[in-house]
Amino acid sequence: MSTPEQLLDNLATFDHHDPLNEKEQAVLEQARKVFMDKLGVPCSACRYCCDTCPAGLDIPMLIRGYNEQNTSGELWRLGSALTAAGNAADCIGCGLCAKKCPQKINIPEVMRSIRDLH
């Protein structure tokens, strides 16, 4: 969270605490495993990282393209949207984005992986 609005949004999410039962937790864990196996990078596209990037990269869009490639086997299916997202090779590895990421994604490492695809 990086703004008061995001804090309030997250607090509202937990306003009515209703925990999952064991069966629901098992289903959730199974879904998490499928997500991790299939997509690789669990970006939720929250965009908390975006404003921090000195290279102006659209990090979630680049990750989406990376995941699309991992699942489809096709290079950069998102075409022009990815071109607009910037070039992962411009990442300077400052790590500012990773500090904002609620999923604790090692974004500089992902950017290096994307860069190495070319």
Q: For ligand SF4, which is the closer residue by CB, 9 or 24?
A: 9
State the minimum distance, in angstroms, from the CB of residue 54 to ligand SF4.
Answer: 6
Contacts to ligand SF4 by CB under 6 A: 43-49, 52-55, 57, 59-60, 63, 91-97, 100-101, 103, 105, 107-108, 111
Q: For ligand SF4, which is the closer residue by CB, 2 or 25?
A: 2
Contacts of 62 (CB under 8 A, 6+ apart): 82, 85, 86, 88, 110, 111, 114
Q: Are 49 and 112 in contact (CB under 8 A)?
A: no
Residues in the chain: 118
